[in-house]
Amino acid sequence: MTAESGVIDQNALPKVSIYISTCNRVDRLKRAVQSVLNQDYPNIEVLVCDDASVDGTADYMAELCAKDERVHYLRNEKNMGACATRNLGIFTATGKFIAGLDDDDEFTPDRISFLVKNWDDRYSFLCCNFKEVYSDGSHNIYYKQDEPLVADYRALLFDNIASNQIFTLTKNLQDIGGFDTRVRRLQDWDTWLRLAFSHGPFKRFPEYKYLMHHDHAKNEQRVSKSYPLSSALNDLLQRNQNIYVGDDAKFMKFIVASSDKSASLSESLYWTVKKTAPKYIVKYLLNKMNLNLGLIKS
């Protein structure tokens, strides 16, 4: 703020870099980018990272960059995948802080100002609640919490409770190498786990500051045709053997087996008792019941 005018000098505020990876979704990208340009926090740079789109994304970005010096366009000339594309932005970023946005989602107008205001160097990263928005017009606030949650990397070992996007110091994300380009699925989870393991506890706020858009109705059942979850979980374990040790490694192996329906009765009973979680034996029984029904029908 200048003494003469009482106006805040945006350059006195720490710069925040926002990276958006995209591939052939220019119509959705426009909404995402606009939600960043509409932030009530002025000192930002927008890094649109294009994984070799052929749908007019380059033309749109050329026009936008000419209009707004805060916007920068980075492009792969051949398809490199989501992790490598996000890293284009992460290692080009010049802001003190950095945040990500998926190209089909939106920030609330105060997301960046809220996170900058609440930053604390004790934490490796901050994250917020988010609102899911479905194609039928319904919506849902994802996390049911009233108070901020503080946790360390151990809370991320078996579930991504840090949502799909976080806010951190740019150097923190660069220090861990950004996103691991080997990851085929669960890349957010993998990255936040490594970030918390390397840089300490994180904090999640109950306020939603992110809109996650879905192409399906809220109650519509979907079957993923992507890389199998059991394979992705096993990859997560194998890549991070320095983090998953002792009983944590054994439990993750059980989760992998449970996911691909190969867990034994004894394993399921053991972890049900040890974790005080009846869902593991219930899942085993349901898997066996479905298998037997399949055999009868065949």
* Span 28-50, pLDDT tens digits: 999 999 999 999 999 999 999 99
Element (H or E) spanning 211, and its range? strand 202-213
The CATH label, of 3.90.550.10, 3.10.20.600, 3.40.640.10, 3.90.1150.10, for the domain at 10-213 is 3.90.550.10
What is the pLDDT, as a whole number, of residue 1? 46
What is the pLDDT, as a whole number, of residue 185? 95
DSSP-based three-state secondary structure for 168: strand
Domain locations in the chain as residue ranges: 10-213, 229-297
* Span 231-241, pLDDT tens digits: 999 999 999 99
Q: How far apart are CA 205 and CA 108, in angstroms?
A: 14
What is the pLDDT, as a whole number, of residue 287? 86
What is the pLDDT, as a whole number, of residue 295? 40
Contact indicator for 162, 192 with CB cutoff of 8 Å: yes
Question: What's CA 62's distance to the chain center, in Å?
Answer: 27
pTM higher than the cut 0.75: yes
Q: From residue 24, give the alpha-carbon distance in Å to each of 30, 52, 189.
A: 12, 8, 24
What is the pLDDT, as a whole number, of residue 290? 74
Neighbouring residues of 71: CB distance < 8 A, sequence distance ≥ 6:
33, 37, 45, 46, 48, 61, 64, 65
74 closest CA partner among 19, 37, 30, 26: 19
Q: From residue 259, give the alpha-carbon distance in Å to each of 65, 250, 254, 265.
A: 45, 14, 8, 14
Cβ neighbours of 188 (radius 10 Å): 20
Q: Which residue has tokens 């500051």?
A: 209
The per-residue pLDDT of the chain, averaged, comes to: 92
What is the pLDDT, as a whole number, of residue 3? 44
pLDDT in tens, the chain (298 residues): 444 545 456 668 999 999 999 999 999 999 999 999 999 999 999 999 999 999 999 999 999 999 999 999 999 999 999 999 999 999 999 999 999 999 999 999 999 999 999 999 999 999 999 999 999 989 999 999 999 999 999 999 999 999 989 999 999 999 999 999 999 999 999 999 999 999 999 999 999 999 999 986 666 555 455 789 999 999 999 999 999 999 999 999 999 999 999 999 999 999 999 999 999 999 999 988 775 544 444 4
